């Protein structure tokens, strides 16, 4: 149903945002490390 599609889309967006945020934090930490 439509609810299942919305839930799957929401979960996929949440996972992508989480991965992007984690990758950003990893790059930021690497750049500040001397």
CA–CA gap between residue 20 and residue 2 (Å, rounded) = 27
Q: What is residue 31's predicted lDDT score, i.e. its pLDDT?
A: 84
Q: Residue 15's domain spans which residues?
A: 1-34
pLDDT in tens, 1-34: 899 999 999 999 999 999 999 999 999 988 876 6
Q: Tally the domains of the chain.
A: 1
Residue 34 is predicted with a pLDDT of: 64
Q: What does the pLDDT read at residue 1? A: 83
Check: pTM over 0.75? Answer yes or no: no
Residues 21 and 27: their CA atoms lie apart, in Å, by 10
Closest C-alpha to 13, from 21, 1, 25, 24: 21
Helix/strand/coil for 33: coil
């Amino acid at each position: 149903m439509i609810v299942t599609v919305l839930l799957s889309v929401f979960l996929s967006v949440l996972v992508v945002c989480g991965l992007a945020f984690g990758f950003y934090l990893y790059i930021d930490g690497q750049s500040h490390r001397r």
